[in-house]
A and B are shown apart, each in its own frame.
Chain A
Amino acid sequence: MKRWSPGYLVYALALMGGLAFAEYRGWNPLSARESRPVPRSVRDNPGAYRPHYGGTGRYVGGK
């Protein structure tokens, strides 16, 4: 007689709950990493924004 696995049932239900909650909130394990902090002044003047690597010029791929 095969056993039911109540421990696994709880585990699976917890996983399903976690999946539903993460999906509801839009979480994603591949979410982009944020660069922090961003000066608050940028919010008032977004046109002045320059990224961290701006203007440095770099090679990221290719042969």
Chain B
Amino acid sequence: MTGPVTNCPSCGASVVFQSAAAVQTVCTTCKSVLVRHDLDLQKVGVESLPPPVTSRIRVGTTGSYKWARFTVVGRIAYQWESGAWSEWHLDFADGRSGWLSDAQDEYAVTFAQPDAGALPASGQLKPGTAVTLGAAGRWTVGVVTRARYAGTEGELPFTTWERDDATFVDLRSEDGRLATLDYSDGAPVLYTGEFVTLESLGLRDLADPVETRVQGAATLNCPNCGGTVTLRRPGESVNAVCEYCQSVLDVRNSRQLQVLQRFDDRRKVPPRIPLGARGQMHGAEWEVLGFQQRTIAVEGTEYSWREYLLHNPDRGFRYLSEYGGHWNDIAVITGVPKHRSAVRPTAEWEGRTFRHFQRAYAVTTFVLGEFPWQVRAGDKAQVDDFIDPPLLLSREKTGHEVSWSLGEYVAPEQIYRAFGITDRPPRPQGVFANQPGPPGAGRMWTLALIFAFLVTAGWMVRAGTASRGILSEAGTFTPGAAAAAGGGWSPVDSAASAVAAAAEAAAAAVSGSAQSGVGAAAPDSADSRPLVSQPFELTGRTTNLHVMINALVDNSWGAFGVLLVPEGGSGDAREFSTDVSYYHGVDQGESWSEGSRSGRIRIAAVPPGRYRLVVAPDGEHAFSYRVQVRRDVPAASLFIITLILLLIPPIFPTLARASFEGQRWSESDYAADSSDDDEE
């Protein structure tokens, strides 16, 4: 859209206003700064050239934001103590005026909010302060910046002439939006918007890369030692470190390098990934620009970790950190996580809850390479780490800035492979804060409990199903008779003996069945022969048979040989044994008893058929006894063993995970022997 055309009052050249909202412009011919009063232009001065831009955006670039077309019509360049940035003035086709912030490869589109209501004074806002700005909602102060006007170009919706510096307060919301309070014009002005990527804006008519970026590296001479300093991002880097003398240099003005800091050789820390190395990560190529070592002191002991600054022209910056062989891949996040202060604070970000792990005061102890912002040894920051392995959410707080970053634990081999380092990475030591632990039992416990319930229910069903009583017979035992009968096997081979024995057996069976109960009859020698039961029929499936013997032993014992004899043509006799013992008395005035008068024989897998049971008692005193037989008795032990076997597998991973977590948290502020005194 082309606006009114007029002539420069200084040189007469045509001045075309693209934006109807423009108040100030710069004559492209004579660089006079012109302020518009309706159609009249007033020259207020001559603008020096603003610093070069590092992105490909220029006046005339077009694009769209949320389906609204815009044209870049102007720019304000700012500088502050830690770097520089540009604000591009956007003239939208629908008449709106907006801004595209361009700072260290981070971009945001914002719009003025003239109806924001009462806004706080800049002095009330400090990094980390939460503030509600009327209808604009709730925000957290990120950075308070005192900036200097470094130049303008093109059309602006207000005049910047005679402005030297201004205070800006950047705010972030929990959902990642951005706001800026501009205190450059007395009354604060609120701008709100969001972070964007250049790709999302569909920019066209961009500057030629050659015009903006210096292709390749540039070399300078260190003013301290004369060594060669290689700049990989000339024009963009603010700091660089001489690799020979480790002097930190201000390289914003390449003709006048300034030594900011000198290092001692003894403090030199070699980076594991060399500066300038390029690696493939997240589908893009990243170059190592800078390296720093940061140190914290905990209870008098210093712990140092290393950070590598990576850069990709289209993706911006990210970091790698390394401590004790543990690596994290870190990116600064644009929003402010929801922070809950408690005995154990938490932070919520993108639906995940991070638990506070540690607070430390980090000091930069070594710097190498170059940085697009001011970095030097001695820089201090309060660092709070929140973890949700494998993620690590960190909040860094300095005097003028609060920033949040999100790291993800990465295997060292992955880092080395990405950057083509052939050495073997150092073996990680101990457990790191966000190191993924063993998987644990996962949902194994859920499954185990479901199956345990099924087993228990199965047991209750089986126990409720009464087993079948098959036999109940009684007998007596007299020691003399048993001894007379002889011990050990007495196979009866002769036919005569067999008949006699059968007759005895029948007599014994009749005698036994006639007994009305245990101990109902006085024992005699005839009853001491083996008890041969009446034949009984087992029907149904092959299943168990339980033989229970109750013997009235008193301060004595009884032993029973039990023979299950199938009748008919086939099948082997099966022999079992059990014994009972019951003793009792009074010892020093206290009654005692031990043992049991009951014995049980569980016979597994007895096929259906006709059987006879032979019970041969033995003992030292006479006693009477009763034999009962039951069929298909549920085995409680089988259910219990199954329950135990179900619960064993989840126990081991649970213990392994608990041990790992114990090691992890032993390094935190919440270790058993540490206090929470320094926590919020």
Contact = CB atoms under 8 A, between A and B. Distances in A.
A60 B579 contact: yes
Nearest to A33: B576
Contacts of B565: 42-43, 46
Interface string A6-27: 0011011001101110111111
B524 interface: no
Given A55-B485, A60-B559, A23 B462 contact: yes
Interface string B623-636: 00000000011110
B529 interface: yes
Contacts of B444: 5, 8
Given A26-B606, A35-B576, A62-B555, A50 B490 contact: yes
Nearest to B439: A3
A54 B492 contact: no
Contacts of A47: 501-502, 504-506, 508, 529-530, 532, 614
Contacts of A58: 557, 559
A60 B439 CA distance: 52
B447 A48 contact: no
B30 interface: no
A31 B486 contact: no
Nearest to A44: B498
Given A12-B447, A19-B638, A49 B576 contact: no
A36 to B, nearest CB: 7
Given A39-B491, A48-B492, 15 more contacts: A5-B444, A8-B448, A19-B642, A25-B544, A27-B635, A27-B638, A28-B635, A31-B544, A32-B578, A39-B489, A45-B492, A49-B616, A51-B618, A55-B618, A57-B479
Contacts of A40: 572-573
A27 B642 CA distance: 13
Which residue of B485, B487, B504 has the most chain A CB atoms within 10 A of its CB atom?
A: B487
A43 B574 CA distance: 10
Interface of A: 2-5, 8-9, 11-12, 15-16, 18-20, 22-63
A43 B637 CA distance: 32
Nearest to A42: B573
In the complex, the 8 A-B pairs of residues with the closest C-beta atoms, listed nearest first: A51-B561, A47-B505, A26-B544, A55-B487, A26-B543, A61-B581, A48-B492, A62-B583
B443 A4 contact: yes
Interface in B622-663: 632-635, 637-639, 641-642, 645-646, 649-650
B602 A31 contact: yes
B375 interface: no
Interface of B: 439, 441-444, 447-448, 451, 454-455, 458, 462, 479, 482-483, 485-493, 497-498, 501-502, 504-506, 508, 529-530, 532, 541-545, 555-557, 559-561, 563, 565-567, 571-579, 581, 583, 585, 594-595, 601-606, 612, 614, 616, 618, 620, 632-635, 637-639, 641-642, 645-646, 649-650
A35 B603 CA distance: 12
Nearest to A62: B583
A51 to B, nearest CB: 2
B543 A54 contact: no
B635 A23 contact: yes
Given A54-B486, A59-B557, A34 B576 contact: yes
Contacts, number: 232
A52 B545 CA distance: 22
A29 B498 CA distance: 37
A54 B577 CA distance: 11
A52 B479 CA distance: 16
B119 to A, nearest CB: 43
B485 A35 contact: no
A17 to B, nearest CB: 11
B573 A61 contact: no
A53 B559 contact: yes
Contacts of A8: 444, 447-448, 649-650
Which residue of A4, A12, A46 has the most chain B CB atoms within 10 A of its CB atom?
A: A46
A51 B560 contact: yes
A41 B454 CA distance: 47
A42 B566 CA distance: 10
Contacts of A31: 544, 602-604
Nearest to B479: A57
Which residue of A15, A32, A47 has the most chain B CB atoms within 10 A of its CB atom?
A: A47
13 contacts: A16-B451, A19-B639, A26-B606, A27-B544, A28-B602, A33-B576, A47-B508, A50-B487, A51-B559, A52-B488, A52-B489, A52-B575, A57-B618
A30 to B, nearest CB: 5
Contacts of A60: 557, 559, 579, 581
A24 B638 CA distance: 12
